Amino acid sequence: MRPDYRLNYHLMGEYGWINDPNGFVQYKGHYHLFYQHYPYLPEWGPMHWGHAVSRDLIKWEYRPIALAPDESYDAGGCFSGSAIEKDGLLHLIYTGHVVTGPDASNDYRQTQNLAVSDDGVRFRKHAGNPVIGLPQIPAGASRKDFRDPKVFERNGMYYVVLGSNDGQGNGQILLYRSGDLVDWTYVGVMAKSGGEMGDNWECPDFFSIGGTDFLMFSPQRMPSQGRDYWNLHSTVYMRGRWDEQTGAFHSEGYAPMDQGFDFYAPQSALDDRGRRIVIGWMDMWESDMPTQKGHQWAGAMTLPREMIVRDGQVRFRPVEEIESYRGEFFELRGVELEGEAPLETAGDSYELEAVFDAGEAERFGLKLRVGGGEETVLSYSPREGVFTFDRNRSGIGPGGVRETEIPLRDGKLKLRAFVDRSSLEVFLQDGEKVMTARIYPGSGSLGIAAFSEGKSKLEALRKWDIR
């Protein structure tokens, strides 16, 4: 395997292709993460479930492939799904994809299926599969887009949310209920696009944080709104209140999960410390992935992020376990900026925290992975109140710019960036917003610079290499 672009502290496949995180769960002392996987080539193909386990969400060990498409009901692929422990056994519920005609991208059927394990490694598919079949698709829902079950338990009952659309161009989420994970009853449409949120919804997830209920899902082809939703497909969280009796979710509004280029199909798990942890696929459909040519792999996961609600506001922060991988430390304090100032530090695997005082500057920020004409530019315009992530000169691979509005706090901007060889995740103002992207700079592009058009001040910069 070529080492260039292989990530140091993010989960990737061992080889071949990966996409969505699946079956994220804590079971018998380990975090388990499964993922959509084509093990033979670095491109999408009949989906398997790859599998990795971790004690700290950072260092992962591979386990054998958990599911392969080897039954009549999943011959076209074991598509996305989730995991839950019941009676000490680990249950996976996933979509069986079957191609039914000559045009594989249109002629298909999808059903929901169960697989069970007593050791968390070897899974046996349930003899009665599918457990949610075609006859259980309600009238007014797509007959073919019916996938990505996320299971949860409430008051002794099991539920799954399923991605769907209404056949008229609106994404929606269907809700099913079961007492035993085997016999499922349709409850209703949990939420639906009013025309502005994409034509099909994938990978729904439902959870509560504090007293607030959340739906998280991935709308396909959602039109942009202002500076939001500029990727081909998007990921949103909707906050509100779920009515357990009717199954309906009463929305109080929605927002993007991430404002960068490469974040899709996230899945969450609640751990034994009460944390709601989200992992996303750190790539985007139909976006060029340079490792597909000449490398044996494609696809990676984001850092696990805790989703929290503080003072009524949603925030994201990387799980604190990453801090125990901090190595060499570098620090600057009180640097007056005007023009560009290269820093006396460099790298391609680090965490960096910076606090800027905007002062009178027109624009200020950081350049990362600088070298040989390459740079990835993170900048802020106080006048517009807009943060910009520019990867047009990042290296090979797709370019582009993403922007997000974020106010200064007491005239200050705080950012926390995680650089890892071919990825960059930026947390703004203590996780009010996050921007995630893959970048593919040359291995010698390691420089870091601060810059300011007009006067600003770098109040503090702290950097730790990540081992």
Nearer to ligand FRU (CB atom), residue 49 or residue 158: 49
Of 4, 20, 205, 262, which residue is the catalytic one?
Answer: 20
Query: Which residues within the stretch 148-177 sit at the binding site for ligand FRU (CB under 6 A)?
Result: 148, 163
Under rule CB under 6 A, how many of the chain's residues touch ligand FRU?
14
Rounded distance between C-alpha atoms, residue 239 and residue 358, angstroms? 32
**Phi, psi at residue 67, to the nearest 5°?**
-135, 140
Q: Which is nearer to ligand FRU, 164 or 388 (CB)?
A: 164
Taking CB under 6 A as the rule, which mask of x and - marks residues 329-368 in contact with ligand FRU?
A: ----------------------------------------
Of the residues 83, 162, 215, 265, which one makes contact with ligand FRU according to CB under 6 A: 265
d(CA 48, CA 76): 10
Residue (of 369, 319, 356, 326) closest to 451 by Cα position = 356
- Which residue shows structure tokens 């890892």? 420
Residue nearer to ligand FRU on the CB measure, 36 or 302: 36
Active-site annotation holds for 180 = no
User: Residue 278 Cβ, how far from ligand FRU at the closest point, in Å?
Assistant: 15
Nearer to ligand FRU among residue 36 and residue 231 (C-beta): 36
Cβ count within 10 A of residue 337: 21
Residues of span 48-107 touching ligand FRU by CB under 6 A: 79-80, 95
Q: What is the per-residue DSSP string for 181-202? A: SSSEEEEEEEEE--SSS-SEEE
Nearest 5 degrees, angle CA 177-CA 181-CA 183?
A: 70
Which is nearer to ligand FRU, 47 or 132 (by Cβ)?
Answer: 47
- The answer to the question of residue 236 lying near ligand FRU (CB under 6 A) is no
Choice between 19 and 394, CB closer to ligand FRU? 19
**Stretch 392-431 residues interacting with ligand FRU (CB under 6 A):** none
State whether residue 320 is helix, strand or coil: helix
CB of 319 to ligand FRU, least distance (A): 23
The beta strands (E) that lie in 100-183 are given as 108-117, 124-125, 147-154, 157-165, 171-178
What is the nearest approach in angstroms of ligand FRU to the Cβ of residue 431? 24
What are the contacts of 120-127 at 24+ separation with CB within 8 A?
120/27, 120/28, 120/30, 120/32, 120/53, 120/90, 121/51, 121/63, 121/64, 121/66, 122/64, 123/66, 123/67, 123/90, 123/92, 125/67, 125/71, 126/182
Q: Which of residues 7-36 bind ligand FRU (CB under 6 A)?
A: 19-20, 36
**Interior CA angle at 283 toward 302 and 313, to 5°?**
50
Q: Site residues (CB under 6 A) for ligand FRU?
A: 19-20, 36, 47, 79-80, 95, 147-148, 163, 202-203, 264-265
Residues catalogued as catalytic: 20
